[in-house]
Amino acid sequence: MRERGSVTLWVLGLAFGLMTLGVLSVDLWSLVAHRRELASLVDAAAVAAVAAIDESEWRRSGELRLDQEAASRLAWSAFEGSVHHDVPVIEFDADGVTVLVSVTRSVPTALLGLAGRHLVVVGASSRATATLHD
């Protein structure tokens, strides 16, 4: 009977494996939650930015263009409530009516930190185009 205690070793191994999987899932869900928050922020920022139509240009030429300064301010305002102090990148396409808002965030990890990944960078971007509806 040399197999005494083998069940105990199996149970300990299984418990360690389940705890590792649990901590890893917390890391992964944290990354998903941060990515989801960033996606929501950039969507709101892009939609806010395309509301900044250059009215003087519209009245003068009838051409739809964004006031880039006002659009940038509106996009930044979507990030003001964030506790993570994210710094968005706001870019305007050459067409003058499309804006791209993107942001990245470094997220600390628990178990992945033991494997050398103390921070994981997650990001999101959103593009919006101003249009006129009749």
More confident residue, 116 or 38: 38
As a whole number of Å, the end-to-end CA separation of the chain is 86
In degrees and rounded to multiples of 5, residue 110 shows phi and psi of -100, -75
d(CA 124, CA 102): 6
98-109 pLDDT, tens digit per residue, is 999 999 999 988
> pLDDT-derived band of residue 2, with 50, 70 and 90 as boundaries?
low
Give residue for tokens 């003001």.
80
d(CA 101, CA 29): 24
d(CA 99, CA 18): 45
| Separation in Å, CA 43 to CA 15, 32, 70 | 42, 16, 17
22-53 pLDDT, tens digit per residue, is 888 888 898 999 999 999 999 999 999 999 99
d(CA 39, CA 48): 14
Instruction: Name the strand (E) or helix (H) holding 115.
Output: none
In degrees and rounded to multiples of 5, residue 124 shows phi and psi of -155, 155
> pLDDT-derived band of residue 133, with 50, 70 and 90 as boundaries?
confident
CB 97 within 8 A of CB 130: yes
